[in-house]
Structure 1
Amino acid sequence: MTASQPTATLAGTVPAAEHPGGPLDAVRKIVPLVIERADQAERDIRVDDEVMNRLVAAGTMMLMAPRKYGGAEAEPSVLIDVIQELSRADGSTGWAIMACMSGTGTMLTLLPEGGARAIAESPDPTCAGQAPPTGTARRVPGGFEVRGLFSFASGSAHAGWFLGGYRILDESGEPVLDATGRPSTAIGVVPRGGVELLGCWDVMGLVATGSYDYEVKPQFVEEKFLRVDGMDALRGGPLYTMGLKSLPGVGHAAFALGVAQRALEEFAALAAQKKRPPSGVLNKNVAVQRDVAQWTARYKAARAFAHDAFTRLYRATRDGGRRTPEMQADCRVAATHAVYMAAEVTRDVYLASGSEGLRNGHIIQRCFRDAHAASQHLFTAEHTYVDAGRIYLGTPGLTPLHSEVMTYTFAPPLMD
């Protein structure tokens, strides 16, 4: 079965932002091409080149980037709507785009001025890769010698730069300690030519993201391309001061919403035609009617929560208010909740679709696979609920590090 145009429109509980001639409208004009190329993109294990070129031309790839470098610093509500629309058209495309948007925005916000400007002014400023410090960096005159093995470079086919996290080592190979006595780390980028893609993206879902393993080959990197021991934004407005994990947080939530929305729309179309004995057409079956209402409630509740949580945190930072731990916890939980919701809804839709969903190429099957692939990402794993629950409960032993869940992926263990 070839990809089809979404067959219906589910209005969210929170009205979609209207942007005449703006980001959402621009993406909607590209969506038909995304849908048309989705099957081939999965076969190619990469986002379609023409789709990417049009998104770059529309400014979509710079929506999370600082205005100083030609970005939009778009509000979370805009980002959610745009990424949800792309993910509704094709989960892999939505995921790869949001991952590259997030990586690019993060690097252009975190890196020293010279490095950020060099990326922004390069022919392809798109950044892909992962930040955990699995690589190593050794200080040498003028910069660092870096190397490392990394995974999950979503959108790698179209990235001009690859980011990575590094443990700082001294000349003898021992870890350098920061001011608190912990191992010193850095996050930074190398140009595409300094990276070898290793393959290994043989997966059930999110196939077209091309999220390959990659090796940063041993090389010299100027100091301006690494940020050592720091995750605070060096530039930009409230989109970054609300915490740099807001960028992937918004993206993961919006991706999940888009895939769940598409699954529901496709099932509504299927239910109008498919007959199953003894009750006949599915949409006349009272059990199906009940289930669809419950699935829709889960989707709309998750969408409302995501919009509310990220908008409240954004407005607090924009207006000079206090960025409370509870606000930050709400955002992380909203993203995780949306991902688990999408996995549950697409599973239920798949089970109700019968043999149609079983067939390779069917949109319901792809939604099921993509949602469940996304559910395995560490950023929205169950530890998020634990970290947020501690904040909600005011658990004894909390420190500032435990509260900064929009800055760090993990909170440290509580001390007795």
Structure 2
Amino acid sequence: MSAALEMDGLSPIRVGTDPVARARSIAARIEADSARIESDKALTPEVLDALHGAALFRTLLPRAYNGEEVRPATFFRMEEAIAAADGSTAWCLGQASGCSFAAAYMAPEAAWEVWGDPRAVLAWGFGTGTAHAVPGGYRVSGTWGFASGNRHASWMGGHCRLVEPDGSIRRNPDGSEAERTMLVRREAVRFHDVWNVVGLRGTNSDTYSFDELFVPEAFSVCRDSDAERRIDSPLYKFTTTNLYAAGFAGVSMGIARGMLDAFTSMARTKTGAAMTRPMRESEVIQNGIAQCEAKLRSAGAWLVEVLEEAWEVARSRGHITMQERAMVRLATTSAIHRAKEVAEWAYHEAGASAIMVGGPFERRMRDIHASAQQVQGRTAHLEMCGQHFLGMNPSGRFF
């Protein structure tokens, strides 16, 4: 166990610096391993040691289980700092952090079993399995995709519809199908090596299956349920979608920051082919860098403002409203789009230097486009935000 954690099994994590500072302190280690992370489709042992040593996997975990319960704005800035070094690492960290939200909805004994190990990581993917209610728990089967970070996970989760002993589907009071997430140890899971993609290769977001696994009731979780929430903290008045949106916006923003910084450094000394003046003397480059700095900084500052406003509402009222949800969705989606614009500008203006494998642009360009393709970057989110502002009643799983 890293001395940086200073855990005694009972007390929360005690560290001398905030998560953003800790993230920046290990960024060079992560960037040095970024090519290996991509080629091996896994975070390196050295990067995992650095992440665990800095306690970054535990930032959204309840303090009751040696977590930090950081504010969402801090989590966003932490993700941004890691993504500037490597997008896949930040993506895995963000996914695992969102999964750790589940601890706030579990009985303490079960939560301690999952997160008692200071290197514990929970991963899950997208899809819906089937959980048949049986005495003491559920018999679960299903296949899910996009399990980012599964190679370094200790536990896996699967979201499931619930089938009662009489064969009927369990439903919520509003008539919708009930869903619970089933948690099992990684070694009980069957994996399918299908992650052959152009970007974020290092996340190894493979497909996986549960084959008739028994899951005790205590290891089934109903996320974002007021009735099942056991930790009364402003953080857990946000939804997991809110935090995933903030974290993955941080991934895109960080990748764009890494590209823009690399471009600015190159432009200070490079003279383009068939050009007589250094790039730094070009008005086009000067203007473009300034515009991109404004885009990134304003998008990040606005998202922090929105997250802080929502935090204050959660703290003072005990819940967040549709207004806060709409603003978080709008600010995170906008940040993802602005980041992609900045990355595309830097890539284009870098010229032929940008296409070289192993350089500072090529992998980041692929990673940011993979990041923006994920559900948090959907343009359709803007439509739902607009509906809210117009007094309508938007609905959607990711709103």
TM-score above 0.5, yes or no: yes
User: 2:246 aligned to 247, 250, 265, which one?
Assistant: 250
Equivalence map 1:202-281=2 (5 Å): 202-228=196-222, 231-232=225-226, 233-276=229-272, 277-281=274-278
Deviations 1:356-409 (A, max 9, x none): 1111121111221111000111133123212211111112xx27xx3xx7xx42
- Equivalences, count: 382
The root-mean-square deviation of aligned C-alpha atoms, in Å, is 2.0
2:398 matched to 1:409? yes
Structure 1 equivalent of residue 377 of structure 2: 380
Structure 1 equivalent of residue 353 of structure 2: 356
User: 1:175 aligned to 169, 178, 181, which one?
Assistant: 169
Structure-2 separation of matches of 1:236 and 1:369: 40
1:144 alignment partner AA: Y
SS at match of 1:200: coil
Structure-1 separation of matches of 2:163 and 2:179: 9
More displaced, 330-339 or 181-190? 181-190
SS at match of 1:362: coil
Unaligned ranges ≥5, structure 2 = 1-14
SS at match of 2:67: coil
Q: Give the drift of 1:21.
A: 2.9
Q: Give the drift of 1:29.
A: 2.3
Structure 2 equivalent of residue 88 of structure 1: 84
Structure 1 equivalent of residue 339 of structure 2: 342
Structure-1 separation of matches of 2:117 and 2:210: 19
Q: Would you say the 8 A contact 1:306–1:331 is kept in 2? A: yes
- Report sequence identity in percent: 27
Structure 2 equivalent of residue 7 of structure 1: none
2:317 alignment partner AA: G
Structure 1 equivalent of residue 329 of structure 2: 332
Q: Would you say the 8 A contact 1:127–1:162 is kept in 2? A: yes
2:21 matched to 1:21? no
Equivalence map 1:387-402=2 (5 Å): 387-395=384-392, 398=393, 402=395
Structure 2 equivalent of residue 164 of structure 1: 158
Q: Give the drift of 1:229.
A: 8.1
1:84 alignment partner AA: E
2:113 alignment partner AA: A
Would the alpha carbon gap of residues 356 and 196 (structure 1) be closer, same or farther in structure 2, given more than 3 Å must change? same
TM-score of the aligned structures, taking structure 1 as reference length = 0.86
Q: Would you say the 8 A contact 1:107–1:188 is kept in 2? A: no
Structure 1 equivalent of residue 27 of structure 2: 31
Equivalence map 1:188-203=2 (5 Å): 188-203=182-197
Structure 2 equivalent of residue 45 of structure 1: 41
2:178 matched to 1:184? yes
User: 2:103 aligned to 100, 103, 108, which one?
Assistant: 108
Would the alpha carbon gap of residues 168 and 23 (structure 1) be closer, same or farther in structure 2, given more than 3 Å must change? same
SS at match of 1:363: coil
SS at match of 1:409: coil
Structure-2 separation of matches of 1:296 and 1:96: 26
Structure-2 separation of matches of 1:362 and 1:162: 35
1:326 alignment partner AA: Q
1:125 alignment partner AA: A
Q: Give the drift of 1:234.
A: 2.6
TM-score of the aligned structures, taking structure 2 as reference length = 0.90
Q: Give the drift of 1:179.
A: 2.3
Q: Give the drift of 1:89.
A: 1.0
